[in-house]
Structure 1
Amino acid sequence: MFKVLSDPTRIKILYLLSQEECNVNHIAEVLEMSQSAVSHQLSMLRNLRLVKYRREGKTLFYSCDDEHVISLL
């Protein structure tokens, strides 16, 4: 888990998700990244159960899944 958290981009994503629930487009806009790069990072975070998502139509909304990680940050 610490290897995953060592990447500044993933920390920025986690911080943003700790503030609000976001979809990939919003995260990409705020962090000025491509949607595919954000999706790749979210996939890694999701595999470690650090983020969760809910589906609303075709859109996925992501949020933090583990509050302990936020307290570490």
Structure 2
Amino acid sequence: MEQSEHHFLNESTVEDVARTFKALADPTRVKILYLLSQEECSVGHIADVLNMTQSAVSHQLSFLKNLRLVKSRRQGKSLFYSYDDEHVIGVLKQVIDHSLHD
């Protein structure tokens, strides 16, 4: 039997992928990312829509920002957040579609 050639991911890539899936494994972060896939939002707006404290939202946004899944921009004294990676939003939407599929 002929030995096939295998291609392996480097350890850094494997760790990045695992961290991204860890981020998506949290229900609150899924809600935040899904909301940000629809519109740019302030922390206050996210807190209102998801019925959370601003502190809790800020904590989750910081986690997502460290993974480069969300980004922020300043407008006056306010920060507005949006998703930073179309690929991750695509994966999120595919998993949502899978969950809704009968």
Structure 2 residue matching 1:60: 3-state secondary structure: strand
Of 81, 86, 92 in structure 2, the residue corresponding to residue 62 of structure 1 is: 81
Structure 1 residue matching 2:71: 3-state secondary structure: strand
Question: Does 2:26 match 1:34?
Answer: no
Q: Equivalent residue for 1:15? A: 34
**TM-score of the aligned structures, taking structure 1 as reference length:** 0.98
Considering Cα pairs closer than 8 Å and 6+ residues apart, tell me whether 1 or 2 has the greater RCO.
Answer: 1
**Identical amino acids, percent of aligned pairs:** 77
**TM-score of the aligned structures, taking structure 2 as reference length:** 0.71
Aligned residues: 73
**Which has more radius of gyration?**
2
Of 31, 44, 50 in structure 2, the residue corresponding to residue 25 of structure 1 is: 44
Q: Equivalent residue for 2:65? A: 46
Q: Equivalent residue for 2:16? A: none
Root mean square deviation of aligned Cα: 0.4
Aligned-partner Cα distance in 2 for 1:45–1:3: 11
Structure 1 residue matching 2:73: 3-state secondary structure: strand
Q: Which runs of 5+ in 2 are unaligned?
A: 1-19, 93-102
**Deviation >4 Å, runs of 4+:** none
